[in-house]
Amino acid sequence: MKRKAEKQQAAVPVSAFAARKARQQQAQIATTPKNEPAAQPAVEPPSKRLRRSLEADESTEMNIPETRGPRTRSSTKQDALLPTEKVKSRKGKATGKEQEESQAQVQETRDDSEEEEESEDNAAEGVDEMTEDEIASVAGDADGYESPAETPAELQNFPLSKSRINKKDIVYADADTLCVRIKEKMNLVLLGQYDLWVKRGVVSVMGAKLHPSSRVYRVYAPSTHSLPVIKCVAGVNGEAEVEIKSCNSGLSRLRDVSPLYQRIWNGQNTAADKVTLKGASKDSRRTFSVLYTSADDSLKRHLRPLHLDKKWSASMKALSSRQGKLRVLVCGPKASGKSTFSRYLLNHLLSSDPGFEDGYINTDGVAFLDLDPGQPEFTPMGQVSLAYLRAPFFGPPFTHPSVDKPRDGHIVRAHHIGSTSPKEDPDHYALATMDLLSQYRSLLARYPQCPLVVNYPGWIFGQGLEVATWLIQCLGLSDVVYMSEKGPSEVVDPLSSAAKQAHVPMTILPSQPTDFVSRSSAQLRSMQIQSYFHLSHPLDLGNPLWQGEPLSRTRPLAVDYSGSKQGILGIMVMGSQISPDLLREVLEGAIVGVTAVESPNAIMGASSAQGPSDEGEGNDFDAEDVDMDTDGQATNGTSASLTDNGVVRTKEGLPYLFVGSGSCTPLDPKASNCLGLALIRSVNVASQKLELFTPIPSTRLQDAIEQGHQLVLVRGQLDHPNWAISEEYHAARAAERHYQESIAEVKQRGDSKKIDQTKHNQTLAMLRERIRRASNVPYMTVVEDNSRRQREAAARREKSLWKLRKKAYPASESETDW
């Protein structure tokens, strides 16, 4: 009797990739002579697919007391990704029939979703969105990480380091430090976190050329991105000497509060580590590992070094030759390498030295105008900013989500767009860009030789193309770099024409997209903003630190929103019209931009929202929503009232800045400045306070208040803080796991008698009770049973849009492995 999967296989939709592969196998079998062995099907490298994880697109709310009623939401999205059986690779190559049966087994575990893979356009954009009824998973990839069984063996063993460490190359080494010599034109690749000190010679790292000095550079090399390469450019007697030391930044602690941070750092010691750790204790582990090939990785991840294309290197040298006159705009389609090129160019400009680059010494720093609100480099998502930098940065954006060190650089000015794409409000985006450009002109008065690097988003089609051509014509650029040799012509031709009219040379470079990604764009944004809220900048330390405790266990900041000690001027909502009665529900659990209003003129349209004037003119509010009488009170049943400066007081007393027609008009960028982001925990109506979390330094808030600026909270359309909901749950699971591991170590040493069984049972019961409480919170549901029947039953029970399904079952890879 045929299995159920075989009966239903014909009715199951398959992707274009799987269909093409099946047709190739059938054609090869049909053309094979009977007297010859069947030809083996050609193995194609896996296409770039989105790696999904537990935190892909989850719920939209923070925890609230049980006494509060359900909340109203206009629209929410969630992903409930549940694991499937992994397809185990056999020795040798499987036949076509075996592959079809394997596909049938995988297909049986899927719900009625759309296709297994999205189109190539969506894959390139990193889009990973599903509605609540579309429960999907990838075979062997249930946890959002790469599966070695899916990758051909020849692709796994990828060469990384050209230098092999021998005893003669080791200057000194201990449990935390490794000092080695690297020969000229040789390189070394490391995975993890480390401090790099160049003692002799010249080495290049991520576009920067580092010379001997007392400066120590912090390098972050996670597996989510291509690994940086330490290459010897010049040396004494043909060798460069570098010291690599372990560091404890706290960034690895975030793995206890989010599965997105799991399995991204170095695993067990490699063969090269064992050579350099001789004489140290057996359990010694550094925060970095030396890798010769990707097969050295104990976690078997898809690791690649980042080698720049020759055209990229030549272009960087040509751009650097312009020195202080450089004004370059980097643009191109999505996933073409714009951010990588900008980061390498930035590091290249910040590391010039006498004897190199025609003797040019960069003493005026570099200005970085980041116009990509979706994946910014030095700020959290939803902002455009101008950063002034004096030192190179080594690591992906989630390792430096904010810059606040005078030695390394700072954010000159930022504006909260309130969205990950400029297309939501192109006019406000253009005004913010022009204001940032004027700030750069002011910066030139102090640093006349400060070059400018402009990073433009992948919004290059339609209206985005119009904005790009407008920028080329009005920014006064020296160069334009387009990151794609494949066009399309309908984009390249208008850009070339605009550059020609502005007498600006345009360079077209090949894109360098990553063939394999372990995190989608949405997941990288979640990692960056979670890193932002857990980040701190101690004054006595040169490097930032991350806190591994969940936000729910930290003390929130209480701000008066009404009364004599009111700390904020008002609250704005961008993008859509929100009734004043729903403002509290919209704010709780949301991320807002903390904006300093430098002048009353920043509130555009406020003068028309002052209520009826002497001439009997009305205000800009929609008459169907709120009608105001001569006393300023609502007359249509709502409990909101209008005060000065266009502020509507809700029934909770919240100051709602409702100006414009239908929705809030954004603040004028010329008279406002975004200080950072905050996460509103709750609205305490009894005390008239907002409880919120923010990593903005208190000194910066105090400076804004002392300058007479007023604070406005801007609620935009950013991704909801889904990661904040499940932090306590993941932390509880991690606490139990760490305790079990400590008990196992005691038993392994033969000290079982030292364990107090009564105390052990009490501790274990307390930890499991913490897990139970953390899993029983609003807007999140933990699915303990992974069977399809239980998933369908849970889907029928949980019809609310804001509910989550989280995976938690024994022997879960995301819960037990690192």
State pLDDT tens for residues 288-331.
999 999 989 998 888 888 888 889 989 999 998 888 889 999 99
Share of the chain above pLDDT 70, in %: 69
DSSP H or E segment with residue 677: strand 672-684
124 lies in some domain: no
Confidence of residue 281 (pLDDT cuts 50, 70, 90): confident
Q: What is the pLDDT of residue 790?
A: 67
Q: What is the pLDDT of residue 424?
A: 83
End-to-end, the C-alpha distance of the chain in Å comes to: 42
Structure tokens at 748: 């392994």
Do 767 and 739 contact (CB within 8 A), yes or no?
yes
CA distance 668 to 600: 10
State pLDDT tens for residues 744-772.
988 888 887 778 889 999 999 999 999 99
Q: What is the pLDDT of residue 177?
A: 94
In this structure, are 520 and 557 located in the same domain?
no
Indicate the average pLDDT of the chain: 75
State pLDDT tens for residues 197-210.
999 999 999 999 99
Q: Greatest CA span in the chain, whole angstroms?
A: 100
State pLDDT tens for residues 117-133.
333 333 333 333 332 22
Tell me the average pLDDT across 445-452. 92
Q: What is the pLDDT of residue 791?
A: 65
Calculate helix-pair angle for 489-501, 463-474, nearest 10 degrees.
20
Calculate helix-pair angle for 338-349, 310-320, nearest 10 degrees.
40
What are the C-alpha distances in Å from 591 to residues 340, 368, 630, 719, 754?
27, 25, 36, 8, 48
In this structure, are 399 and 286 located in the same domain?
no
Taking 50 as the threshold, does the pLDDT of residue 488 lie above it?
yes
In this structure, are 412 and 349 located in the same domain?
yes
Confidence of residue 712 (pLDDT cuts 50, 70, 90): very high
100 lies in some domain: no
State pLDDT tens for residues 781-807.
786 666 666 667 666 655 544 434 444
DSSP 8-state secondary structure symbol assigned to residue 191:
E
In this structure, are 473 and 526 located in the same domain?
yes
Structure tokens at 540: 């006595």
Find, among 180, 505, 190, 457, the residue nearest to 330 by Cα: 457
State whether residue 536 is helix, strand or coil: strand
Q: Which of the listed residues 246, 266, 296 is the one where a domain comes to its end?
A: 296
104 lies in some domain: no
In this structure, are 328 and 292 located in the same domain?
no
In this structure, are 363 and 460 located in the same domain?
yes
Residues 6+ apart with CB under 8 A from 703: none
Structure tokens at 530: 């979670």
Structure tokens at 669: 């960028």
Q: What is the pLDDT of residue 110?
A: 41
CA distance 350 to 372: 22
CA distance 248 to 269: 18
Q: What is the pLDDT of residue 282?
A: 79
State whether residue 559 is helix, strand or coil: strand
What are the C-alpha distances in Å from 525 to residues 300, 473, 544, 717?
25, 31, 19, 14
- Is 209 or 9 the better-scoring residue by pLDDT? 209
Q: What is the pLDDT of residue 561?
A: 93
Q: Which of the listed residues 667, 696, 723 is the one where a domain comes to its end?
A: 723
Helix locations, 413-545, DSSP H: 426-446, 463-474, 489-501, 521-533
CA distance 478 to 757: 73
Do 737 and 816 contact (CB within 8 A), yes or no?
yes
Helix locations, 292-425, DSSP H: 310-320, 338-349
Q: Which region, left, alpha or beta, applies to residue 765 given φ > 0 means left and ψ of -120 to 50 means alpha?
A: alpha
Do 739 and 759 contact (CB within 8 A), yes or no?
no
Total number of domains constituting the chain = 4
**What are the φ/ψ torsions at residue 21 (nearest 5 degrees)?**
-65, -40
State whether residue 205 is helix, strand or coil: strand
In this structure, are 466 and 336 located in the same domain?
yes
One DSSP character per residue, 585-626 reads: HHHTT-EEEEEEE-SGGGSTTGGGGS---TT----SS-TTT-
In this structure, are 675 and 744 located in the same domain?
no
CA distance 420 to 719: 8
Taking 90 as the threshold, does the pLDDT of residue 64 lie above it?
no
Tell me the average pLDDT across 352-379. 76
197 lies in some domain: yes
Confidence of residue 528 (pLDDT cuts 50, 70, 90): very high
What are the C-alpha distances in Å from 800 to residues 177, 779, 790?
53, 9, 17
Confidence of residue 507 (pLDDT cuts 50, 70, 90): very high
Structure tokens at 770: 């913490």
In this structure, are 564 and 644 located in the same domain?
yes
State pLDDT tens for residues 228-249.
999 999 888 889 999 999 999 9
Note the Cα 8 to chain centre separation in Å. Answer: 39
Taking 60 as the threshold, does the pLDDT of residue 506 lie above it?
yes
- What's this model's pTM, rounded to 2 decimal places? 0.75
What are the C-alpha distances in Å from 281 to residues 201, 627, 818?
32, 76, 22
- The residue type of 763 is T
Do 341 and 373 contact (CB within 8 A), yes or no?
no
Q: What is the pLDDT of residue 24?
A: 63
110 lies in some domain: no
Lowest-pLDDT range of 55-59, 262-266, 637-641: 55-59
Structure tokens at 670: 């010329």
Q: What is the pLDDT of residue 405?
A: 79
574 lies in some domain: yes
Lowest-pLDDT range of 93-97, 449-453, 514-518: 93-97
Structure tokens at 208: 């920067």
In this structure, are 500 and 572 located in the same domain?
no
Tell me the average pLDDT across 541-545. 83
260 lies in some domain: yes
Q: What is the pLDDT of residue 134?
A: 30
Taking 50 as the threshold, does the pLDDT of residue 520 lie above it?
yes
Note the Cα 665 to chain centre separation in Å. Answer: 28
- Is 639 or 667 the better-scoring residue by pLDDT? 667
Taking 70 as the threshold, does the pLDDT of residue 812 lie above it?
no
CATH value at residue 200: 2.60.120.1030
Find, among 565, 564, 644, 559, the residue nearest to 594 by Cα: 559
Q: What is the pLDDT of residue 796?
A: 64
* Degrees to nearest 5, angle at CA 587 with 532 and 644: 115
Find, among 96, 94, 109, 117, the residue nearest to 47 by Cα: 117
Q: What is the pLDDT of residue 382?
A: 92
Q: What is the pLDDT of residue 94?
A: 43
**β-bridge partners, 536:** 545
Taking 50 as the threshold, does the pLDDT of residue 357 lie above it?
no
Q: What is the pLDDT of residue 787?
A: 67
Taking 80 as the threshold, does the pLDDT of residue 137 lie above it?
no
Q: What is the pLDDT of residue 684?
A: 93
The position carrying tokens 């550094």 is 286
In this structure, are 414 and 522 located in the same domain?
yes
Taking 60 as the threshold, does the pLDDT of residue 157 lie above it?
yes
Q: Which domain holds residue 746?
A: 727-767
Taking 70 as the threshold, does the pLDDT of residue 82 lie above it?
no
In this structure, are 496 and 622 located in the same domain?
no
Taking 60 as the threshold, does the pLDDT of residue 138 lie above it?
no
**In 10 A of CB 5, how many CB atoms?**
16
Hey, CA dihedral for 106, 108, 111, 115, is it positive or negative?
Answer: positive
CA distance 129 to 482: 28
Lowest-pLDDT range of 187-191, 541-545, 691-695: 541-545
Q: Which of the listed residues 500, 531, 562 is the one where a domain comes to its end?
A: 531
Q: What is the pLDDT of residue 52?
A: 41
Find, among 695, 696, 652, the residue nearest to 561 by Cα: 652
The position carrying tokens 């790009």 is 468
What are the C-alpha distances in Å from 756 to residues 24, 572, 759, 761?
64, 57, 5, 9
- Is 496 or 751 the better-scoring residue by pLDDT? 496
449 lies in some domain: yes
CA distance 733 to 550: 12
- Is 153 or 506 the better-scoring residue by pLDDT? 506
Taking 50 as the threshold, does the pLDDT of residue 437 lie above it?
yes
Taking 80 as the threshold, does the pLDDT of residue 417 lie above it?
yes
**β-bridge partners, 179:** 172, 243
Tell me the average pLDDT across 602-616. 46
CA distance 164 to 212: 23
Q: What is the pLDDT of residue 623?
A: 31
Q: What is the pLDDT of residue 475?
A: 84
Q: What is the pLDDT of residue 647?
A: 82
